[in-house]
A = this chain, B = another copy of it.
Amino acid sequence: MLTERQLLILNAIIDDYITHAEPVGSRSVSKREDIEFSPATIRNEMSDLEELGFLEKPHSSAGRIPSQKGYRYYVDHLLSPKKLTKNEIHGIQSVFRDRFSEMEQVIQQSAKILSSLTSYTSIVLGPEVFESTLKQIQIIPISHESAVAIIVTDMGHVENQTVPLPEGININELEKVVNILNEKLKGVPLIHLRHKLSTEIGKVLEKYIDHYDSMITLLNQTFLSQQSEKVFFGGKTNILAQPEFHDVERVKRLFNILEEDALVSKLFRSDYKGITIKIGQENRFEPFDDCSVITATYSVDGKHMGTVGILGPTRMEYPRVIGILDYLSKDLSKLLSARYQK
Where the two chains meet, the residues of A that have a C-beta atom closer than 8 Å to any C-beta of B are: 99-103, 135-136, 138, 140, 142-143, 145-148, 150, 152, 154-156, 158, 160-164, 233, 236-237, 240-241, 245-248, 251-252, 255-256, 259, 339-342
Interchain nearest-CB distance for A261 vs B (Å):
12
When A158-B158, A237-B252, A237-B256 are in contact, do A140 and B135 touch as well, CB less than 8 Å? yes
Is the pair B156, A146 in contact by a Cβ cutoff of 8 Å? yes
Supplied contacts A240-B248, A246-B248, 6 more A-B pairs, CB within 8 Å:
A148-B156, A150-B152, A158-B158, A158-B160, A236-B255, A236-B259
Residues of B within 8 A of A160 (CB): 158
A-B contact pairs, 27 of them (CB 8 A): A99-B164, A100-B162, A101-B162, A102-B161, A102-B162, A135-B140, A135-B142, A138-B138, A140-B152, A142-B154, A142-B340, A143-B339, A143-B340, A143-B342, A147-B156, A148-B152, A150-B150, A150-B152, A158-B158, A158-B160, A236-B255, A237-B252, A237-B256, A240-B248, A240-B252, A241-B252, A248-B248
CA distance A140 to B102 in the complex (A): 14
Chain A facing B: main interface SS: mixed
Is the pair A146, B259 in contact by a Cβ cutoff of 8 Å? no
Residues of B within 8 A of A245 (CB): 248
Interchain nearest-CB distance for A56 vs B (Å):
25
Interchain nearest-CB distance for A243 vs B (Å):
10
Is the pair B152, A158 in contact by a Cβ cutoff of 8 Å? no
CA distance A155 to B247 in the complex (A): 45
CA distance A140 to B158 in the complex (A): 11
Residue of B nearest to A162 (CB): B102
Residue of A99, A158, A164 with most chain B CB atoms under a 10 A cut-off: A158
CA distance A341 to B248 in the complex (A): 46
Is the pair B100, A164 in contact by a Cβ cutoff of 8 Å? yes
Residues of B within 8 A of A163 (CB): 100
CA distance A241 to B156 in the complex (A): 42
Residue of A145, A155, A248 with most chain B CB atoms under a 10 A cut-off: A248
Residue of B nearest to A221 (CB): B100
Interchain nearest-CB distance for A15 vs B (Å):
26
Is the pair B152, A162 in contact by a Cβ cutoff of 8 Å? no
Interchain nearest-CB distance for A105 vs B (Å):
9
